Amino acid sequence: MWPGSNPPVGPPPTGRGPAGASWTAARPVKPGAGWYALPILLVLVAVTGFFTVFAFLRDDSRVADGPSANGDPVAGVRIRLSDGHGYFIYVRTGQSSPFACSVEVGDLTGPIRLTRKNAWNAAERTSYRYTATFEAPVSGSAMLRCRGTEGPILVTPDDTVRGYLGLALITAMGLGALAAVSFVITLVRRGGARRRAASLNGG
């Protein structure tokens, strides 16, 4: 170009390389490889979340697997308790609910507060109906006595924790499935982008 002349207007000419090959710039493959971080993150969240919930509820799960006991409410029902954990009380179908219960450990006896906590999770028991929940005030072998009902009563650990663990497992599995779908979609789309880029460069 001579000094003082105007530059040409329009797009630069498309040249050709050796043997007539086009000088077309390679297009970046989309989606980028960074998208693989999404399924990895989902798997990490699923695994970490489940094991965190499991560790937090492990003690409750152990108590939920404890034994049940039945017997006469006046003479007392011998049961193993874990301090701070809940227990369900069932009475015979057709019998009245107890209005007061107490726990005896050795020479010590004290009343317990009857509630309806987690009543929605109380399982159906043949010939029994759920009537109350109480929180263990002590740990160890204890004698439970109740007043206001007749016939044998049944005492079982509150196993609501199993529902929470099941929900945590389902959530973790859902995140794992979402991670798998995300990985497959990214893999397929990147593969298609590579094939299209190879076709254009080959043309």
Per-block mean pLDDT, blocks of 10 residues, the chain (203 long): 52 50 55 74 88 85 89 93 94 92 89 94 91 94 93 93 87 89 81 69 59
CB atoms within 10 A of CB 26: 9
Residue 63 pLDDT: 87
Residue 157 pLDDT: 95
Residue 24 pLDDT: 52
Q: What type of residue sits at position 132?
A: A
Residue 32 pLDDT: 66
Query: Is cis: bond before 11, omega within 30 of 0?
Result: no
CB atoms within 10 A of CB 181: 12
Residue 146 pLDDT: 95
Residue 1 pLDDT: 45
Rounded to 5 degrees, φ, ψ at 92 are -60, 140
Whole-angstrom distance, CA of residue 193 vs CA of residue 184: 14
Sign of the dihedral through C-alpha 164, 165, 166, 171: positive
pTM of the predicted model as reported, rounded to 2 decimal places = 0.68
Residue 21 pLDDT: 47
> Which residue in 138, 137, 172, 136 sits closest to 156, CA to CA?
136
Give the angle subtended at the CA of 107 by the CAs of 101 and 112, to the nearest 5°.
Answer: 20
